[in-house]
Amino acid sequence: MSKLDGRVVFITGAARGQGRAHALRLAADGADVIGVDLCASIASVPYALATPEDLDQTRRAVEALGRRMMTYQADVRDFGALQKALDGGAAELGPVNIVIANAGIAPHSAENHPDAYQDVIDINLTGVLNTVEAAIPSMIEHGAGGAIVLCGSTAGVRGIGGSTLGGLGYSAAKHGVVGLMRNYANNLAAHNIRVNVVLPTGVRTPMALTEAMAGWFATQPGLGDMSNLLPVDLVEPDDVAAAVAWLVSDEARYITGVQLPVDAGFLNKR
């Protein structure tokens, strides 16, 4: 018997990168998956976002593991679309027990797009709120408890947003995610619903490996040394997914309200 047999997980940003890694790891642990992704471009984001084909590839990979996955194109800024996706998936797979609020953008660019700040706040912070709010009523009504993991960043606890609108918005949003986690952990504990946040360092995903991101770093000398303490440049999506898998498992049944770094020692570095 697998650790998550009989569980249903709702994952945003599931088409590729960390979202796909979460879907595959939790499916390997026995969960069925409801996955959503925008699968469209955003003008302020200086790299290609996931496509419908990427989301379908995630579904096929989950099914190859012997689990079921329902996929929906939905924008985390649109609460109604998220609710429709969650309800539609639950009707097919069963009630949601686990939520991974993963969807996010990084509009880091030296061009300083005027919409970058608002877009990243709307997606990386309000989108997390929408994701959790869509899931809470049914999780409480089902009465079986559950686990929620918010996907944060080391930029959510250190002032490393730089000087551009996208970088400032990203840092502000990730700091806000930590605040949401603390409040939700308090609000939902009586229902045996645990809420935690993971704080990765740079992760080897399409979001991080862009020319725009490299160009942004080149314009931000004030950030100082951004290397990790351990001798790795980036962690892998599977490293973050392993931490998430532990947090949502019964092995972490008394873990709530914590910030779990997956950061190769970045936050501890002198």
Give me the active site residues, please.
170
Neighbours of 60 (CB within 10 A): 10
- Nearest to residue 16, comparing CAs of 54, 47, 45? 54
Which residues are CB-contacts of 101 (< 8 A; sequence separation ≥ 6)? 12, 127, 128, 131, 132, 148, 149, 150, 151
Which residues are CB-contacts of 178 (< 8 A; sequence separation ≥ 6)? 152, 156, 157, 197, 259
Where helices occur in 189-250 by DSSP H, the ranges are 211-218, 237-248
Half-sphere exposure (Cβ direction) of 126: Cα atoms closer than 13 Å: 13
Tell me if 257 sits within 8 A of 195, measured CB to CB.
Answer: yes
